[in-house]
Structure 1
Amino acid sequence: MKKITDERLILQNLKNIRIAYFIQTIGILGILGYDLVTKGVEGMRENPLWLVFLITTVISAYLSMNISADHENNKISPQKSLRFSLVVLILISIAVGFFVSLTNGFTIINGVIMGVILFICGLIPIVYIYNLRIKRQDDE
């Protein structure tokens, strides 16, 4: 197969892939929505499409971060942005942990666990985008 060199054809190919991805996502959401209505939340989460949907959403988000890091301007240093993001993440994690511990049937330990899980899940993309910004800064 010959590699496409015409920029118009490359752009059209990317648009076709985007449309196919959109239709595939709508189909997956439709199937999961049907499972949600007929089997409930647990039935929907048991469907293997749920895992496919989560994985593709996370991968799409990380790929979008890569593009957005290249597109931003250099007005704010990566270190300052990292510190601000960490402060916001810590405040959100503490608030969620506190409110979870106040919920009936949950203890302080449940709130701490939920806050730590949220912190770790938020820390991964923050560090990833920080590394992308540092890499872009080094390239310039």
Structure 2
Amino acid sequence: MKKIKDERLVLQNLKNVRIAYLIQTLGILGILGYDLITKGVEGMRENPLWLVFMITTVISAYLSMSIGVDHEKKTNESKKSITISLIVITIISATVGVLVSITDGGMLGMITGGIIFLCSLIPVLYIDYLRKKRKAEDIED
């Protein structure tokens, strides 16, 4: 196969891939929704499509982050941005941890708060890395 060089065809091909991805995601959500109704939450989570859906969603979000950083017009102050993000993440994870501890008791709240903190920290650090990388590339140019 020859590589497509016409920009209009490349753009149309990307649109086609996006539509196919959307239809595939809707199909997976439909199957998971059916499992949710018939088998409950545990039955839905046992379906291998749940894992495929979660992995696809996370990868899509990380790919979108790099596009979002490239699309930013002004360069954000890195230290200020990451400090604000860390404060917000800490407040949210601590609040959830305390609420879970109150309702469920003990260590589960600390574990839940810690997991939320880590799962939120990774994207924040990744975006900071992308911004620093972009800033370094801009300085080189």
If the length of structure 1 is used for normalisation, what is the TM-score?
Answer: 0.96
Q: Which residue of 1 aligns with 2:114?
A: 116
Aligned to 2:2, the other structure's residue is in SS state coil
- Quick check: 2:96–2:112 contact (8 Å CA) kept in 1? yes
Alpha-carbon separation, structure 2, partners of 1:64 and 1:8: 22
Q: Which amino acid counterpart does residue 22 of structure 2 have in structure 1?
A: F
Aligned to 1:76, the other structure's residue is in SS state coil
- Quick check: 2:75–2:135 contact (8 Å CA) kept in 1? no
Map Cα deviations across residues 80-100 of structure 1 (whole Å, 9 max, x no partner): 111111110000011001111
Which stretch of the first structure deviates more once superposed, 128-137 or 68-77?
A: 68-77
Q: Which amino acid counterpart does residue 30 of structure 1 have in structure 2?
A: G
Q: Which residue of 1 aligns with 2:137?
A: 139
Q: Which residue of 2 aligns with 1:63?
A: 63
Q: Which residue of 1 aligns with 2:45?
A: 45
Matched, 1:27 2:56: no
Q: Which amino acid counterpart does residue 119 of structure 2 have in structure 1?
A: C
Alpha-carbon separation, structure 2, partners of 1:75 and 1:63: 19
User: How many residue pairs were aligned?
Assistant: 138
Aligned to 2:73, the other structure's residue is in SS state coil
Identity percentage over the alignment? 64
Q: Structure 1 stretches (4+) deviating beyond 6 angstroms?
A: none
If the length of structure 2 is used for normalisation, what is the TM-score?
Answer: 0.95
How big is the shift at 1:75? 4.5
Alpha-carbon separation, structure 1, partners of 2:92 and 2:62: 21
Q: Which amino acid counterpart does residue 8 of structure 2 have in structure 1?
A: R
Alpha-carbon separation, structure 2, partners of 1:133 and 1:79: 11
Root-mean-square deviation (Å): 0.9
5+ unaligned residues in a row in structure 1: which ranges?
none
Aligned to 1:4, the other structure's residue is in SS state coil
Q: Which amino acid counterpart does residue 48 of structure 1 have in structure 2?
A: P
